[in-house]
């Protein structure tokens, strides 16, 4: 049997210094959509998410909460697991950097890089931002409104002087540039690839990769006074989950190099510069792709705890239901660009695309079948051109969607599906099955069969985005759970005339103004 194609996608592992908010839900949701799509398309998928539990930021948060750091991590990490459940994420693994398997892996990667001669001991003196867990050169700092020097992200910085191990990042400038040239789509969107390339062209300094002034981390092998810099620790999670250092393991062999590391634009440099350099220095393959998506604001304002405008994904799902939230987040903003969350645009979008477009199409077609076809899949007669065209066009949407999703253009994939929903609505409106009810019931049956087939195809295609609603819709069409993969699109999985259908129920209720007030 030919080996199944594999697909490995990862989210950033989130810091446990804070409870999950809409930004975290967004990144993992995008990965969930891509993972579900690839599974339905016949791939062997590994979808990884988890929490990043080391570093000074987490240590400080635990101290502020007057908690033992491990207990603090257990508690917050659990919130991320709950978010995954509430959002219906289909991850295959949830990793925590405090797990013993991760210590083993991070230390093994360090030793491999060291054995290859790329780590040396020295002393670091310079600026550090705990909030960003990042080192900054003097030249990168900017002056804040109050006159203090801050990181380019606006985060406070402190002057550090301590013994440190260094990674010889400066030597990786040319290998990285060669790698980007050979893999021009290593970073997407393209503008982000350009940013990364010009950053690397500007020259790279060796990177301090250990700290001695706090303890919450993975000890440096052979020198436990040092703990690893949180980013070398964190990035290694992507291979820990594949049983590294056992590179003969089935997991490592099957899934490495990763197909997509999904990240926000804030952490692109760590993933597109440091991580491939670490991997090359270890003599291992770098990942295939880093996709950096944009940043959400709330009603035009930066989302921040201090502004008190953090959008709580649990609250949103509670208020509106899960699938409208999933749909809105994936559809509203071109994936890769920044986006603004506003209640008004949420309600408008959910009502227009879900309740009106898809909801009405399904409801109209299913209720006519219930009323006029004895509640059974109708028996179609001879197909006319318009019928055949709708069926062919609907089955062909997959090809388009595949191309978009290979570039993680999730919004374009959704647009393509919804264009076809519009065409199907147009077909029903033009064919007017209700007109034929008395005069030509056979024609009515054919139109309803064709429309139901279109709905079946569109529901199968939309499962990655709105899985719960599509499961309900496919139940209503009598499609067995085993027949919902993309191999069932088109004629392969055609509805069987005569199949009894359950009474139709609406899948996308309208959000009323009262609720949205």
Measured distance CA(292)–CA(68) in Å, rounded:
34
Q: How far is CA 396 from CA 417, 419, 420, 421, in A?
A: 10, 12, 10, 13
Tokens of 4: 């199944």
Order of strands across the sheet with 339-341?
301-302, 296-298, 339-341
Using DSSP's 3-state secondary structure scheme, residue 298 falls into: strand
Measured distance CA(141)–CA(139) in Å, rounded:
6
> By C-beta, is 234 or 241 nearer to ligand ME8?
234
Q: By Cβ distance, which residue is nearest to ligand ME8?
A: 23
Give the β-pairing of 223-228 and 219-220: antiparallel
Please name the helix (run of DSSP H) or strand (run of DSSP E) that holds residue 164, with its range, or none: strand 158-167
For the CB of residue 237, give the shortest distance to ligand ME8 in the complex, in Å: 6
For the CB of residue 34, give the shortest distance to ligand ME8 in the complex, in Å: 14
Binding site for ligand ME8 (CB under 6 A): 12-15, 23-24, 26-27, 52, 234-235, 237, 263-264, 266-267, 295-296, 303
For the CB of residue 380, give the shortest distance to ligand ME8 in the complex, in Å: 47
Measured distance CA(153)–CA(132) in Å, rounded:
8
SS (H, E, C) 120-140: EEEEEEEEEECCCCEEECHHH
Cβ-based neighbour number of residue 483 at 10 Å:
14
> By C-beta, is 50 or 324 nearer to ligand ME8?
50
Measured distance CA(418)–CA(400) in Å, rounded:
12
For the CB of residue 141, give the shortest distance to ligand ME8 in the complex, in Å: 20
> By C-beta, is 235 or 455 nearer to ligand ME8?
235
> By C-beta, is 136 or 427 nearer to ligand ME8?
136
For the CB of residue 238, give the shortest distance to ligand ME8 in the complex, in Å: 7
For the CB of residue 28, give the shortest distance to ligand ME8 in the complex, in Å: 8
CA proximity to 52, closest of 40, 34, 69 = 69
Cβ-based neighbour number of residue 149 at 10 Å:
15
> By C-beta, is 285 or 338 nearer to ligand ME8?
338
> By C-beta, is 262 or 459 nearer to ligand ME8?
262
For the CB of residue 176, give the shortest distance to ligand ME8 in the complex, in Å: 18
For the CB of residue 106, give the shortest distance to ligand ME8 in the complex, in Å: 11
Measured distance CA(384)–CA(41) in Å, rounded:
30
Residue 17 DSSP code = T
> By C-beta, is 233 or 353 nearer to ligand ME8?
233
> By C-beta, is 20 or 433 nearer to ligand ME8?
20
């Amino acid at each position: 049997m030919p080996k199944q194609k594999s697909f490995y996608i990862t989210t950033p592992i989130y810091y446990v210094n804070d409870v999950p908010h809409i930004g975290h839900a967004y990144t993992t949701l995008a990965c969930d959509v891509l993972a579900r799509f690839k599974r339905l398309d016949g791939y062997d998928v590994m979808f990884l998410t988890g929490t990043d539990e080391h570093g000074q930021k987490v240590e400080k948060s635990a101290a502020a909460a007057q908690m033992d750091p491990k207990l603090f991590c257990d508690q917050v990490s659990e919130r991320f697991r709950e978010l995954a459940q509430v959002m219906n994420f289909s991850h295959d693994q949830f990793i925590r950097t405090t797990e013993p398997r991760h210590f083993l892996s991070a230390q093994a990667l360090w030793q491999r890089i060291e054995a290859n001669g790329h780590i040396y001991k020295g002393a670091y003196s310079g600026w550090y931002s705990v909030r960003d867990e990042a080192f900054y050169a003097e030249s990168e700092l900017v002056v804040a409104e109050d006159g203090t020097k801050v990181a380019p992200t606006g985060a406070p910085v402190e002057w550090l002087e301590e013994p440190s191990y260094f990674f010889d990042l400066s030597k990786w400038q040319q290998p990285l540039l060669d790698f980007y040239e050979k893999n021009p789509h290593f970073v997407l969107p393209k503008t982000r690839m350009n940013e990364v390339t010009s950053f690397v062209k500007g020259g790279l300094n060796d990177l301090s990769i250990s700290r001695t002034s706090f303890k919450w981390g993975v000890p440096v092998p052979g020198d436990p006074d040092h703990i690893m810099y949180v980013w070398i620790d964190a990035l290694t999670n992507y291979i820990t989950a594949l049983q590294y250092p056992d590179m003969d393991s089935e997991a490592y062999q099957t899934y490495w190099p990763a197909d997509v590391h999904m990240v926000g634009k804030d952490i692109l440099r760590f993933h597109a510069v440091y991580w491939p350099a670490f991997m090359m220095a270890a003599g291992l393959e770098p990942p295939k792709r880093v996709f950096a998506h944009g940043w959400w604001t709330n009603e035009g304002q930066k989302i921040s705890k201090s502004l008190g405008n953090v959008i709580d994904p649990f609250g949103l799902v509670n208020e509106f239901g899960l699938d409208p939230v999933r749909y809105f987040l994936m559809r509203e903003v071109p994936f890769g660009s920044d986006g603004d969350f506003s209640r008004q645009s949420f309600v408008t979008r959910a009502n227009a695309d879900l309740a009106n477009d898809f909801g009405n199409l399904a409801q109209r077609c299913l209720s006519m079948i219930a009323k006029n076809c004895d509640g059974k899949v109708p028996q179609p007669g001879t197909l006319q051109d318009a019928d055949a065209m709708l069926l062919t066009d609907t089955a062909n949407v997959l090809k388009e969607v595949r191309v978009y999703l290979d570039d993680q253009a999730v919004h374009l994939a959704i647009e393509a599906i919804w264009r076809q929903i519009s065409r199907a609505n147009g077909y029903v409106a033009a064919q007017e099955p209700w007109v034929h009810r008395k005069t030509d019931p056979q024609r009515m049956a054919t139109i309803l069969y064709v429309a139901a087939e279109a709905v079946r195809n569109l529901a199968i295609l939309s499962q990655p985005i709105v899985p719960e609603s599509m499961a309900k819709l496919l139940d209503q069409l009598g499609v067995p759970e085993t027949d919902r993969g993309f191999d069932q699109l088109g004629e392969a999985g055609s509805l069987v005339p005569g199949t009894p259908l359950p009474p139709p129920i609406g899948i996308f209720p309208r959000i009323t103004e009262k609720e949205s007030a």
